[in-house]
Amino acid sequence: MEVDMIDTKTSNKIIETLLEFGVGFRAKNDPFFNDVNKLENPIRKLGVYSVLPEEELHIQRSVVCAIPNCNKEFDTIFGYESHYNSCHRNICNICHKNLPSAHLLDLHLSEKHDSFFAVQSKTKAMFACYVQECESVFINPEDRKDHCITIHKFPHDFRFDIKSGAKTDSKLEVDDEATVEGEGTSKQPFQISFGHSKVKTFDTKNYAKVLTKNQKKKTQILDDNKMVVDLIASLPE
């Protein structure tokens, strides 16, 4: 009988305990956690952050251009992007000419390196306008030049199409070199040979011709670069 009474008291105590604490979800500021919070620091929500050493905070890392043979360094990503867009983005893979925009690069590839364009341009209008938003096409570069001056207000003295004349110059140079070689034999030889081959001598005329040829190439490159700068300045914003 006494055992039954003890079991009943124990069961009642367990039920009272369950009724006292079994109240479902408790908030973090519930008095039930007061005793534990006194022993440990309260839980705080912290954001994700990283602490770098002091010496790494003052390191200024530069950005190096990854294009071969171009090792320019820049302090900011913006400077590197500006350099890449102006110097490496619109380059002709055939003649390595740098164009200011993708539209002008397309025109350059078609008009200078496309044999199909060269054939088609003889029978129909193929020369597109320099302004990308303009959809006009022309039968020859002269009509396009007049259109750009009249409609798009390009300057009258702008050098639209500069013909390099490389073929004619090279032909003349070959003829001149042949003439120079024919006249290069001196009537009074520098050395006398008996049964041996002629000794090669330094030809001052031929050397001067090579210098003139190199100077023409440099002048042509400067003219092409100036033409690109003038074209950029004259395009509408």
Q: Which residues of 47-62 are buried (b: 16+ CB within 10 A; e: fewer)?
A: eeeeeeeeeeeeeeee
24-62 pLDDT, tens digit each: 777 878 887 888 777 776 666 777 777 767 666 666 678
pLDDT at residue 9 above 50?
A: yes
User: What single-letter amino acid sits at 154?
Assistant: F
What sign results for the dihedral spanned by CA atoms 9, 11, 17, 23? negative
pLDDT of residue 165: 41
pLDDT at residue 18 above 80?
A: no
175-230 pLDDT, tens digit each: 444 444 444 444 554 455 555 545 455 455 555 565 566 666 555 655 666 666 66
Average pLDDT for the chain: 72
| Count of helix runs (H) and strand runs (E) in the chain | 9, 4
Domain range annotation of the chain: 60-89
Burial (Cβ within 10 Å: 0-12, 13-18, ≥19) of residue 127: buried
* Residues counted in the chain: 237
CA R_g for the chain: 42
Give the other-Cβ count within 10 Å of 231's Cβ.
Answer: 19
Tell me how far apart the alpha carbons of residues 29 and 59 are, in angstroms, rounded to a whole number. 46
pLDDT of residue 113: 92
pLDDT at residue 167 above 60?
A: no
pLDDT of residue 27: 81
95-128 pLDDT, tens digit each: 888 888 888 888 899 989 999 988 988 888 889 9
pLDDT of residue 16: 81
Contacts with 74 (C-beta within 8 Å, 6 or more apart), sequence order:
62, 63, 64, 65, 80, 83
pLDDT at residue 75 above 70?
A: yes
pLDDT of residue 25: 79
Q: Which one-letter DSSP state was computed for residue 121?
A: T
Question: How much is the pTM?
Answer: 0.41
138-160 pLDDT, tens digit each: 998 889 888 988 898 888 877 66
Contacts with 138 (C-beta within 8 Å, 6 or more apart), sequence order:
125, 127, 128, 129, 144, 147
Give the other-Cβ count within 10 Å of 101's Cβ.
Answer: 16
